[in-house]
């Protein structure tokens, strides 16, 4: 109600021109919006209170939390579901609205009208009341016994029904990660901030101040671009460090939903720059700012309507708000674009065509390329929508990464080249000789650097065909060119004034992102190759996309060669109060010449195993970070804890040196006795009489292994046998007796029927992945520098204007 009052009051403050009445409406609007802010934070506090205290009578608490959940993940459970994420979005609107009330000045009323109405729409998502038989929103404080899906469960009507639910359903294991604590707040701040450029543009059209809005909108557009971009890349970092996408980007529909609005907003920022300097592209700026916020709403519909349930790994299920989300999108889309179409002829425009050697011309071209990229991504992501809307049966791409990459690589090439060249162009027109002189050395250096990287780095995408390989090398040049040319521009074009180089710094970061994506993808190497063929086809199930040959089985305490390393599964452990199982995986690299250890480290990938009594594995990767590469490891399978007991029996063999013993998957040869035996399960004590049986084992693939079971006498009386095991072959051997008269020994051999002490893992090497992450940080720094620069210029102009007014009054 406070949001609705604020919307109406701000609307009247714009509509009414009489100053006293206008001020009264504005005062009422401010009071109403303050009430709305307090209400939003009150709801936040109450919802967190019931989560923290585990009040499972509330459906939201029962569905998203449990008593075993760590405190930090209670915040994650707050925004793990639809109602909480809408509330988080609303909180950020409150914060931004509070700033705008004090900073927007003459634009306060039109901008806050839009923002207050957005708050009203978001608040409606949390109502959960019925109007004419239609449920509006979903109430986070709905009691479990009131939930429609539980109405047929008789026990919820019992007075003591809470005694039957001692614990909650818990948080999705994928969300029990520190990234879930920090990523959603940043991403939703990006979502919330996107309305501000939209509101300024709409306010400009509404009040017919078609040009004045652009100046105060620029810092907000830069802020929204910085925050949303940060949120998107934090999601990529989350996918890289904590999910099993096998990298930082999988073109998942939910990833695409947050990326596309950022792309169109960046396009709008560049057309606004062109307008501010030349008067061109104002209509385009209106369009881009409008479509960016609309795409935020469309992404919200895609991820929360349940329509992506079969194509995305982390979309929400439908809570019956699909129609409401469409209405929310329509009430912003229709008025904005209708007003733009109706008043398009009133919007100032420069009739003179831009020179092809002008900066504004290529800024506009770059924005069109970004728009094309956004259209392609949105179209493919929306295939489930087209199927439902037009009764089609289109199938999403089976190889999503390649499907997007083969198109988006050309977008990346054009953008890389434009970011390198455009800053050397002047607005309105540029002498050709000037461009040639300025770009000569950056171009030469970029060509040489590209040749060196391609030659020394052995960039390879041959699996995708020769045509794609050509595109790769062009993209390599474009990314290197963007970095070198923008660095050169800071010194040649800006004379070393780094504080004024926000755009160049952001472009350098963008070039590094392209370079990091290219190198890490082309040189990405799977090192967990199953050379011993221990994993049979179908091991992961018929529906799994896992390639068995790219997954390595590690028996416990048995070193397996993996790439340049010998890797050993040393065991697992759990921590009280932590539902995850941590697996100890030791990496060791040795010198082939002398066997000396060159490097050793331990990784601790973890996983939720058989969550809530169900079969399944939800892994979290672990990585070893280097300056030039990352070793990325995660668990793909573990044995079932309820596997059947091994009923196989030992068989006795009496052998002498040189004899063989055959078993189902190979044979072993007794090669002699070892008076100082080496067995990981035997620890010698003073007085022991010990001997080991040296066995050379061969399997059907002619792969060789060694075993050394031990027989020893302790205290001159007690006889012991320490078996040795060959886990990959489920082979167990005991040294049970020495027969000196016959010059023989007695061995007992058993082949295990089941083998349940292993893990299966997948490991990649990502070379130069840090180029990507450093590029992200540099691009964000460039955004920050641009925001500071714009704010500083605005303050200086205000100061100059105030000085002129003061002098005029004095005269």
Residue pLDDT, tens place only, 350-370: 888 888 889 999 999 999 999
Domain boundaries, given as residue ranges, for the chain: 1-176, 432-523+768-811, 548-636, 651-755
- Record the pTM: 0.84
Q: Is the pLDDT assigned to residue 736 strictly greater than 70?
A: yes
- d(CA 300, CA 137) in angstroms, rounded, equals 14
Work out the pLDDT band at 148, boundaries 50, 70, 90: low
Q: Is the pLDDT assigned to residue 648 strictly greater than 90?
A: no
User: Other CB atoms closer than 10 Å to residue 434's CB: what's the count?
Assistant: 13
From 25-34, 217-226, 613-622, the region with the lowest mean pLDDT: 613-622
Q: What is the 3-state secondary structure (H, E, C) of 429-450?
A: CCCHHHHHHHHHHHHHHHHHHH
Residue among 280, 261, 278 nearest 195 (CA): 261
Token pair 């594995």: residue = 617
CA trace torsion 127, 129, 131, 133 (10° rounding): 130
Average pLDDT (115-123) is 96
The pLDDT value recorded for residue 143 is 87
Highest mean pLDDT: which range of 341-355, 368-382, 455-469: 368-382
Residue pLDDT, tens place only, 555-578: 888 788 888 899 999 988 887 767
Average pLDDT (457-486) is 80
Residue among 79, 71, 54 nearest 140 (CA): 79
Please state, in angstroms and as integers, the Cα–Cα distance from residue 655 to each residue in 303, 387, 673, 743, 745, following that order.
68, 71, 12, 9, 6
Q: For 273, what's the count of Cα atoms within 13 Å in the CB-facing half-sphere?
A: 25
Residue pLDDT, tens place only, 328-345: 999 999 999 999 999 999
3-state class (DSSP) for residue 661: strand
From 296-300, 382-386, 536-540, 594-598, the region with the lowest mean pLDDT: 536-540
The pLDDT value recorded for residue 614 is 41
Average pLDDT (162-188) is 84
DSSP string, 180-240: HHHHHHHHHHHHHHTHHHHHHHHHHHHTT-TTTTHHHHHHHHHHHHHHHHHHHHHHHHHHH
Residue pLDDT, tens place only, 421-449: 999 999 988 888 888 888 999 999 999 99
The pLDDT value recorded for residue 294 is 97
- d(CA 383, CA 389) in angstroms, rounded, equals 10
CA trace torsion 441, 447, 452, 458 (10° rounding): 160
Residue among 478, 482, 484, 483 nearest 454 (CA): 478
Q: Is the pLDDT assigned to residue 554 strictly greater than 70?
A: yes
Q: Is the pLDDT assigned to residue 153 strictly greater than 70?
A: no
The pLDDT value recorded for residue 808 is 61
Residue among 702, 240, 247, 763 nearest 529 (CA): 763
The answer to whether 76 and 171 have CB atoms below 8 angstroms apart is yes
Average pLDDT (407-418) is 94
Work out the pLDDT band at 462, boundaries 50, 70, 90: low
Residue pLDDT, tens place only, 89-114: 999 999 999 999 999 999 999 999 99
Pairing status of strand 651-655 against strand 660-663: unpaired
Measure the CA angle with vertex 418, ends 414 and 422; round to 5°: 165
- Please tell me what DSSP assigns to residue 58: B
Q: Is the pLDDT assigned to residue 3 strictly greater than 60?
A: yes
- d(CA 782, CA 511) in angstroms, rounded, equals 12
The pLDDT value recorded for residue 613 is 41
DSSP string, 705-755: EEE--EEEEETTTEEEEE-EEEGGGTEEEEEEEEETTTTEEEEEEEE-S--
Average pLDDT (310-339) is 79
3-state class (DSSP) for residue 315: coil
Q: Is the pLDDT assigned to residue 40 strictly greater than 90?
A: yes
Q: Is the pLDDT assigned to residue 316 strictly greater than 60?
A: no
- d(CA 322, CA 317) in angstroms, rounded, equals 10
Q: Is the pLDDT assigned to residue 802 strictly greater than 80?
A: no
User: Other CB atoms closer than 10 Å to residue 65's CB: what's the count?
Assistant: 27
Work out the pLDDT band at 134, boundaries 50, 70, 90: confident
The first and second tokens of residue 160, run together, are 């003591």
What's the gap between Cα 750 and its chain centre? 48
- d(CA 221, CA 264) in angstroms, rounded, equals 11
- d(CA 142, CA 61) in angstroms, rounded, equals 10
The first and second tokens of residue 53, run together, are 């205290």
Token pair 């620069």: residue = 789
The pLDDT value recorded for residue 773 is 93
Average pLDDT (170-178) is 79
Q: Is the pLDDT assigned to residue 799 strictly greater than 70?
A: no
The pLDDT value recorded for residue 130 is 86
Q: For 159, what's the count of Cα atoms within 13 Å in the CB-facing half-sphere?
A: 0
- Average pLDDT of the chain is 87
Q: Is the pLDDT assigned to residue 247 strictly greater than 90?
A: no
Please state, in angstroms and as integers, the Cα–Cα distance from residue 412 to each residue in 406, 415, 417, 475, 517, following that order.
11, 5, 9, 7, 11
The first and second tokens of residue 540, run together, are 């992961």
- d(CA 366, CA 288) in angstroms, rounded, equals 13
Helix or strand (DSSP H, E) at 150: none
Q: Is the pLDDT assigned to residue 283 strictly greater than 70?
A: yes
Taken as a whole, the chain contains a residue count of 811
- d(CA 517, CA 251) in angstroms, rounded, equals 13
The first and second tokens of residue 789, run together, are 């620069």
Q: Is the pLDDT assigned to residue 456 strictly greater than 50?
A: yes
The angle, 0 to 180 degrees and rounded to 10, between the axes of the packed helices 2-15 and 19-52 is 160
Residue among 183, 195, 453, 484 nearest 314 (CA): 183
């Amino acid at each position: 109600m406070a949001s609705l009052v604020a919307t109406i009051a701000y609307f009247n403050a714009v509509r009414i021109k009489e100053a006293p009445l206008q001020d009264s409406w504005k005062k009422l609007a401010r009071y109403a919006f303050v009430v709305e802010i307090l209400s939003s934070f009150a709801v936040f506090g109450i919802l967190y209170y019931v989560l923290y205290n585990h009040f499972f009578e509330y459906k939201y608490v029962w569905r998203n939390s449990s008593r075993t959940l760590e405190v930090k993940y209670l915040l994650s459970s707050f925004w793990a579901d639809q109602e909480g994420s809408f509330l988080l979005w609303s909180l950020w609107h409150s914060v931004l609205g509070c700033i705008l009330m004090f900073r927007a000045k003459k634009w306060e009323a039109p901008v806050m009208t839009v923002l207050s109405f957005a708050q009203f729409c978001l608040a409606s998502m949390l109502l959960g009341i019925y109007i004419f038989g239609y449920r509006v929103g979903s109430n986070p404080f709905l009691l479990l016994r009131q939930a429609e899906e539980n109405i047929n469960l008789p026990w919820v009507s019992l007075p003591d029904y809470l005694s039957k639910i001692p614990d909650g359903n818990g948080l999705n294991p994928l969300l029990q990660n520190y990234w879930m604590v920090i990523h959603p707040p940043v991403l939703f701040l990006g979502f919330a901030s996107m309305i501000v450029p939209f509101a300024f543009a709409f306010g400009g059209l509404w009040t017919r101040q078609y040009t004045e809005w652009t100046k105060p909108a620029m810092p907000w557009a830069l802020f929204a671009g910085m925050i949303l971009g940060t949120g998107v890349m934090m999601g990529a970092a989350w996918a890289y460090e904590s999910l099993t996408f096998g990298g930082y980007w999988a073109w998942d529909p939910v990833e695409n939903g947050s990326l596309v609005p950022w792309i169109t907003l960046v396009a709008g920022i560049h057309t606004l720059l062109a307008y501010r300097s030349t008067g061109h592209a104002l209509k385009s700026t209106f369009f881009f700012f409008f479509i960016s916020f609309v795409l935020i709403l469309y992404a919200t519909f895609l991820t929360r309507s349940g329509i992506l349930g079969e194509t995305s790994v982390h979309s929400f299920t439908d809570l019956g708000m699909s129609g409401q989300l469409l209405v929310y999108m329509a009430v912003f889309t229709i008025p904005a674009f209708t007003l733009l179409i109706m008043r398009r002829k009133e919007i100032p425009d420069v009739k003179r065509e831009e020179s092809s050697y002008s900066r504004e011309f290529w800024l506009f071209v770059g924005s069109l390329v970004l728009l094309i990229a956004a259209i392609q991504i949105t179209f493919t992501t929306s295939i489930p929508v087209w199927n439902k809307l037009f009764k089609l049966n289109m199938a999403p791409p089976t190889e999503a990464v390649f499907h997007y990459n083969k198109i988006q690589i050309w977008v990346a090439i054009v953008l890389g080249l434009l970011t390198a060249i455009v800053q050397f162009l002047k607005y309105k027109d540029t002498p050709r000789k000037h461009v040639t002189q300025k770009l000569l050395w950056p171009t030469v250096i970029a060509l040489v650097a590209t040749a060196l990287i391609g030659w020394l780095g052995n960039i390879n995408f041959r699996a995708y065909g020769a045509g794609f390989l050509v595109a790769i090398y062009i993209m390599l040049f474009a990314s290197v060119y963007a970095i070198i040319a923008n660095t050169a521009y800071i010194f040649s074009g800006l004379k070393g004034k780094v504080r004024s180089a926000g755009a160049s710094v952001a472009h350098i970061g963008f070039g590094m992102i392209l370079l990091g994506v290219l190198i890490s993808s082309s040189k990405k190497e799977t090192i967990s190759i199953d050379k011993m063929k221990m994993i049979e086809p179908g091991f992961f199930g018929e529906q799994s996309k896992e390639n068995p040959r790219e997954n390595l089985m590690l028996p416990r305490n048995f070193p397996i060669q993996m790439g340049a390393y010998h890797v050993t599964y040393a065991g697992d452990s759990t921590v009280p109060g932590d539902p995850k199982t941590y697996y100890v995986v030791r990496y060791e690299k040795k010198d082939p010449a002398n066997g000396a250890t060159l490097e050793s480290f331990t990784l601790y990938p973890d996983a939720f195993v058989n969550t809530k009594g169900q079969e399944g594995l939800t892994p979290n990767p672990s990585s070893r970070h280097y300056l030039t590469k990352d070793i990325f490891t995660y668990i793909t399978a573990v044995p079932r804890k309820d596997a059947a007991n091994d009923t196989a029996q030992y068989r006795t063999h009496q052998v002498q040196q040189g004899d063989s013993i055959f078993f189902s998957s190979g044979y072993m040869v007794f090669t002699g006795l070892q008076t100082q035996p080496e067995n990981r399960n035997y620890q010698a004590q003073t007085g022991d009489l010990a001997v080991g049986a040296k066995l050379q084992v061969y399997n059907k693939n002619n792969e060789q292994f060694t075993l050394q079971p031990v027989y020893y006498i302790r205290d001159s009386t007690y006889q012991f046998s320490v078996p040795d095991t060959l886990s990959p072959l489920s082979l167990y051997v005991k040294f049970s007796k020495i027969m000196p008269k016959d010059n023989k020994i007695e061995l007992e051999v058993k082949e295990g029927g089941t083998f349940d002490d292993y893990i299966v893992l997948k490991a990649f090497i990502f070379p130069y992945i840090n180029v990507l992450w450093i590029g992200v940080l540099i691009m964000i720094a460039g955004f920050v520098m641009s925001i500071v620069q714009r704010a500083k210029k605005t303050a200086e102009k205000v100061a100059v204007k105030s000085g002129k007014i003061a002098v005029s009054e004095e005269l």
